Structure 1
Amino acid sequence: MNRLNDSTSAFLRESAEQEIDWFPWSDEAFQRARQEDKPVLVDVGAVWCHWCHVMDRETYSRHDVAEIVNKHFVAVKVDRDEMPELDRKLQRAVSSITGESGWPLTVFMTPEGEVFFGGTFFPPEDSYGRVGMKRLLLEIVRLWTQDRERLKRSALSLTDYVPSTSSPLEFEVVDTAFSSIVSTFDIEQGGLSGNMKFPHPMVDQFLTAYSFWTGDHVGIKLSTFTLKRMFQGGIFDQLGGGFHRYAVDREWNVPHFEKLLIDNAELLEDYFVNYLASRDPQLREALDMTSEFALRDMWIGEGFASSLDADVEGKEGGFYTWDWDELLSHSGEWKSLVEKTFTLVGEGALEGGVIRARDDLGEIAKMMGMEIGTFLGNLRKARETLRIHRDSTRKRPFRDENLYTYPNCRMADSLLASSLLTGRGRDEALKVSSKLSGRVTRRLQGGGEGLLEDYSSALLLALRAYEVTGNLKFRDLSLELGREVLGFMTPSGFVEKKGSSEVPNMDTPNESPNSLALRGLLSLSLVDDQIKVPESVISSILGDYMQGPPFYAGSILSAGAILKGMAHIVVVDADERAKLLHRESMLVYHPFKVVELVKEEDRDLVVPLIRSMINQGEGSRAFVCVGNTCSMPVKEPEKIKLLLKSKLPQ
């Protein structure tokens, strides 16, 4: 047994019985390397990662590999979910040297902490078209012994990334980003062009926002098309809901089967926001099924589990794949509907096939002579019949029950926002919210000091809880957290952690910590105008956006909102009508909106602007502010949408 047995990381604990003398990332490991004059081998992975398991099983568990590693290297294991800030730096260094990145990440370092070589997956012997780990290790040993200076000359320090330039806060940046995204869009399958497809939630939301601002309906058409194609594909769990991490083909057919809390949190928000804009029934169905998945399969009483593994008993996707006859035989009364709606894909590469829709569900409904709502309702019953059979007869994937703060806050935020539509998730989301305080840690239940992503997602959740409940304790918590997030701000942007200069400003495609921080503080500035983010800081965050506009979509959306006007809706609660006004305010689409529900008796507890609204008029009423202009009070819910001046197609 090595040093990993008592780790809080499920990924590290999985390797506790290996022969390799693994260290966790620590000063102790590098001190040992200096004492013994050995290079450091670092393996970065995650408990949900299929190829990480393959490399652990086929490479690191072999006696001959372990013998070489223990004799010639100091071995270090890193969980990227535990240490995302370290993972970012290691990925950047390896990519600069070899052009490779991803997980598992294999890194070779000097005892002084510089990277001199790396890659991703290495089999034990030459295979898969890749050099074998044994041969690679022995070559590294030879070079370390015979040509060390050459290795050191090519080594890279783990440097902090800081934007190299700044971009003016002008709508030209928004226009350029939109044109770039459209030029790389896959018009046949949706999403960004490529042989593998990742969801890009912030790209979808940016495209829809662009249509709202400009009246160019291409944006919302592309985002809706993408979301429907994903929902119909194998990347979506057609029986249990929720999304796998990415697809290995451009058709969204065959996924890598891990399900991550953070991905589903962002996609839940993505489908909710775009449903509000489009009112497409397929987006609503995806939203409902994803929220049900999160509450059924990820909620563990005090928060949400971090991930579900891709593998079951060494079989990739074994929980999710089917034989066609098996699928039909367990469909019960819905056999004909299942046969006409679904097909299997990926059967040549997997043990069984992945379920996906044969065509657009709207087209299938037409073919069957059914209204889309009725069709989706019947299909849901068929899905549920098959899900119950699957869940009750198959071994489930491993669930990582670490309660990481960042993905928990993001999921609670998305559930709380969508609960007004779906009627589910409010209690669980507020339970997560209740665990927040002005000091944020890496886990909900405590632990290491929180990173920027933890503080920013906590701020966004506290704001959402205030929007939904009107409870002033969440407003006060938001202000406290906002001041903490401001402590991460530098002239170059928001740093990863206090004392660092790393500015994580790229969506990966998960929304970047800088986008989260910017969105949170801009939203908070509508609640309290003492909260400010200097334009120069925003310009720096956007600085390198031309190297890949889709990967800056979150921050560019916030920039567009500043230029076109952020929305602030204040509902004064004086009678029963307030519920209707509040619901409409929360469920009307606007790209960047904050809603406050305030009671007349709290006039002495609110800022002067809100106090003046409370003092103006009688009965429940709403004030709609866009940019620097506020409306007169309105009492009719339908007028709120008109005052937001949407340019979306009606």
Structure 2
Amino acid sequence: MMPNRLINEKSPYLKQHASNPVDWYPWSKEAFEKAIKEDKPIFLSIGYSTCHWCHVMEKESFEDKEIAEILNENFVSIKVDREERPDIDSIYMNVCMMMTGRGGWPLTIFMTPDKRPFYAGTYFPKEGSYTRIGLKELLLNISKLWKEDRKKLLDRAEVVVDHLKKLSEKSSEEKLTENITEMLYQKLKDIFDPYYGGFGRRPKFPVPHNLLFLMRYHYSTGKENSIEMVKHTLTNMRLGGIHDHIGYGFHRYSTDERWFLPHFEKMLYDQATLLMAYTEAFQITGESLYKQTVEEIIQYLTRNMLSPEGGFYSAEDADSEGEEGKFYVWSYDELKEIVEDIDLFEDIFGITQEGNYREEHTGRPTGKNILYMRKTLTDISKETGISEEKLSLKISNWRKKLFSERKKRVHPLKDTKILTDWNGLVIAGLSKASVINPEYIKIAKNTADFILSKMKTKNGTVFHRYKDGDADIDGFLSDYSYLVWGLIELYQHSFEEKYLIEAVELTDKMIKHFWDKKGGFYDTPDFGEELIVRPKEGYDGAIPSGNSVAVYNLFRLYRITGNTEYRDRALKTIEFFAEKIKSIPSGYSMMILGFDFYIRDGKDIVISGKDFLQVEKILKQTFDPYRTVVIKKDESLNNLIPHLREIPVKERSEVYICENFSCGLPLTDIEEISEKLIRKS
């Protein structure tokens, strides 16, 4: 069969569908012109390359000649990679949520040739059942309505678009007060799972920004319960099946409450944000398990996800050989052949002869095992009488053997596109993790340099996607805000001025092209493609929204530079979303984290002089989420940070502790500096 148009696309997800008998179009002017010319509705299918149910729907329907004939005759069919076009996905996912009360991928939309949706859903099997309609029946019904009762569909589309427009309109004048942090803490406490950690019931996502907030809340209030929630969650995730005990890294989410049965795909953004959470938890608690987890995530990232050019790939699939999780699970007999001390291995990793991985609907054993640790090494050591050191050595030896054996299997598909926003998160995570190993800052710098050289345009804007030497797709709000987050962290841990300068320049571009005078930032630039609405999202899902991260960045840059425009735009963004924040604080935890940074009394530290390594070492000894640090090595930052002009540069480092952009007398004695900078718990 001749491939369809998707064969010419860069997206691995679109290329997966290039051999379908469906006459697919990418999202393009050509597709909509064809729909207008032939007077056909649009069938829009949105997914991503590592999505299990996207694979299922492709196999059942899009590879099926009968379905293809119906689609080709009655519709213009468009495929979209949600990771390439988060703007399109955001709009039509909101449609699906409005129409059905739920969302997910694959996302299935029926719409007019002018992009107005009138029917939405997610996965549809080819043939229906008593409980749900099948795709074949749905296609025939909608085709009939389009021909015989189109007004009904058009009226429905009009209502949907009106609702969409209202989502991005400001509904009231609100302001946040300091008690919003207490409200969020209480809400997280209410939905916290005291047995297994995490928030809510299954499916259970990591949501690291909740943990980042709780660690700051603990720092500012001293409430032990907040750090205990963090520790309980991070420990149980690290022990659970959501963690890959053989190859490292974390799967996307757990289908059960106890972090045992994962949805097996691995996403770059999860590794990045979990790096931040585990690093900060280690700084606060000193627990070696968290440090080890940071080191393992980075080992996974650099081994599996790092491109030769320096950017990180997007994801690894859940499926291999057409079966979800096949790469990751083990039969008892396989394990018995590979590891010695199978009884001890069984005790530690919870495996059984019939398999601990059961069928979802029947509960029958599958004969396969997911590796998870029943308890911490400390507890296992107490039970078995074997020292933690010996247990750790045994586990390390087992892991090496199993890793070597697993390498022989068919590997899941890797999505090798490089996204600016997700790489920004990795830069932030690696920079933070450099307090554990200074070598990590080199990886972060390498990635930042790649993004800034290959994905930034001559006029200072950024592209969203890089693949096979080609940078394309105008950057979205998340590309700017996540990358700026990464660059701020990179400056705070490397003190190379160019990264702070880039962060400020990109922030100014973001304000120029994304700012809404009503408050907040649009998800798309003012020079981008015109869609049925211009989306503006503040809600924090599995990862924070672009607006939430923008708020955090703006408050930090305000404290670093003294530029009040950054503070004012951050406050106006919060004001725009304030009503929603108050009604669902747990849905805006990253934005509240940014506001929390603003309202706390943090130290703004200026180190003047070329010999700053001793002071830098002191700074890395303590977790202080409200601190900013600037190093004045020469006069190069004076224009960016005007209050630096008053501070002379000397050979011997002097430390200034500043508040409200006014600095105290310089400190030169290293013991006094240590006393002032290291917080006593």
TM-score by length of 2: 0.88
Is it true that 1:366 corresponds to 2:388 in the alignment? Answer: no
Q: Assess if the C-alpha contact under 8 Å between 1:337 and 1:379 holds in 2.
A: no
Render the CA deviation track for 1:274-323: whole Å, top value 9, x for unaligned.
Answer: 22122222222211111111111101211111111111110101110111
**Counterparts of 1:626 and 1:389 in 2: how far apart (Å)?**
57
* Structure 2 match to 1:117: 119
Relative to structure 1, is the Cα distance of residues 76 and 507 closer, same or farther in structure 2, using a 3 angstrom cutoff?
same
CA distance in 1, matches of 2:369, 2:503: 47
**2:489 is aligned with 1:464:** yes
Residue 440 of structure 1 is matched in structure 2 by: 462
Q: Which residue of 2 aligns with 1:316?
A: 324
CA contact (8 A) 1:3 1:23 kept: yes
1:588-626 CA-to-partner distances (Å, cap 9, x unmatched) read 2123333323326868677343354546x8733434446
By how many angstroms is 1:399 displaced? 0.8
SS at match of 2:350: strand
How big is the shift at 1:583? 2.9
**Cross-structure match for 1:505:** 538
Q: Does 1:249 align with 2:265?
A: no
Q: Following the alignment from structure 1 to structure 2, what is the Cα–Cα distance between the partners of residues 623 and 331?
A: 57
Is the 2:48–2:81 Cα contact (8 Å) retained in structure 1?
yes
Q: Secondary structure at the match of 1:447?
A: strand
Contact kept? 2:46, 2:105, Cα under 8 Å:
yes
**CA offsets 1:411-459 (integer angstroms, 9 cap, x no match):** 1221122123134433332122113153211135522221111111222
Matches within 5 A, 1:350-389: 352-369=368-385, 375-376=391-392, 378-389=394-405
CA shift in 2, pair 1:221/1:632, >3 Å: farther
The SS at the match of 1:262 is: helix
> Which residue of structure 2 lines up, in the alignment, with residue 475 of structure 1?
500
Q: Does 1:521 align with 2:554?
A: yes
User: Which residue of structure 2 aligns with residue 263 of structure 1?
Assistant: 270
Please show how residues 61-210 of structure 1 align to structure 2 within 5 Å. Answer: 61-127=63-129, 129-155=131-157, 156-157=160-161, 159=165, 161-165=168-172, 167-210=174-217
What is residue 357 of structure 2 aligned with on the other side?
Answer: 346
Instruction: Provide Cα deviations, 1:124-164, integer angstroms capped at 9, x if missing partner.
Output: 11259532111121222232233322222222225463453
Is the contact made by 2:618 and 2:677 (CA closer than 8 Å) also made in structure 1?
A: no
Which residue, out of 471, 483, 489, partners 2:515? Answer: 489
- Contact 2:74–2:143 (8 Å) recurs in 1: yes
- For 2:412, the aligned partner's letter is P
**1:315-369 residue CA offsets vs partner (Å, 9 max, x unmatched):** 101110111232243235x756533321244243566221111124432233244
- Give the number of aligned pairs: 643
Percent identity of paired positions between Structure 1 and Structure 2: 31
What is the distance in 1 between the residues matched to 2:537 and 2:678?
Answer: 34
SS at match of 1:532: helix
State the shift of 1:554 in Å.
0.5
Distance 1:467 1:30, change over 3 A: same
CA distance in 1, matches of 2:116, 2:75: 15
Aligned counterparts of 2:667 and 2:388: Cα–Cα separation in 1: 35
Counterpart of 1:55, as a letter, is M
Matched, 1:572 2:597: no
* Stretch deviating more after TM superposition (141-150 or 282-291): 141-150
State the match for 2:363 in structure 1.
none
Work out whether residues 542 and 552 of structure 1, in 8 Å CA contact, stay in contact via their aligned partners in 2: no
Counterpart of 1:59 in structure 2 is 61
What SS does the aligned partner of 1:107 have? strand
Kindly indicate whether residue 589 of structure 2 is the aligned counterpart of residue 561 of structure 1.
Answer: no
1:2–1:16 CA contact under 8 A, matched in 2: yes
Distance in structure 1 (CA, Å) of the matches to 2:578 and 2:389: 42
Deviations 1:21-75 (A, max 9, x none): 1111123222222222222111100001011011101111111111111111111
Give the match for residue 440 of structure 2: 425
Contact 1:581–1:621, Cα closer than 8 Å, also in 2: no
Aligned partners of 1:533 and 1:106: how far apart in 2?
A: 40
**Inter-partner Cα distance in structure 2 for 1:304 and 1:128:** 45
Bigger shift: residues 477-486 or 360-369:
360-369
> Which consecutive unaligned segments of at least 5 residues does structure 2 have?
361-365, 527-532
Q: Which amino acid aligns with 1:450?
A: G
Is the contact made by 2:175 and 2:575 (CA closer than 8 Å) also made in structure 1?
A: yes
Task: State which drifts further: 364-373 or 509-518.
Answer: 364-373
Q: Which moved further from structure 2: 437-446 or 414-423?
A: 437-446
1:76, 1:475 → 2: CA distance?
Answer: 41
Letter aligned with residue 461 of structure 1: G
Matched, 1:395 2:410: yes
- 1:413 maps to 428
TM-score, scaled to structure 1: 0.92
Task: For residue 17 of structure 1, give the secondary structure of its aligned residue in structure 2.
Answer: coil
State which drifts further: 336-345 or 516-525: 336-345
Amino acid in the other structure paired with 1:35: K
Contact kept in structure 2, 1:207 and 1:223, CA below 8 Å = yes
Indicate the RMSD between aligned Cα atoms, in angstroms: 2.6
SS of match in other structure, 1:23: strand
Q: Which amino acid aligns with 1:401?
A: T
Quick one: which amino acid aligns to residue 343 of structure 1? G
- Conserved? CA contact 2:561–2:640, under 8 Å: no
AA aligned to 1:494 is: F
Distance 1:34 1:501, change over 3 A: closer
**Residue 539 (structure 2) pairs with residue 539 (structure 1):** no
1:592 aligns with 2:626: yes
Q: Distance in 1 between matches of 2:122 and 2:672?
A: 55
Alignment of 1:209-288 (within 5 A): 209-288=216-295
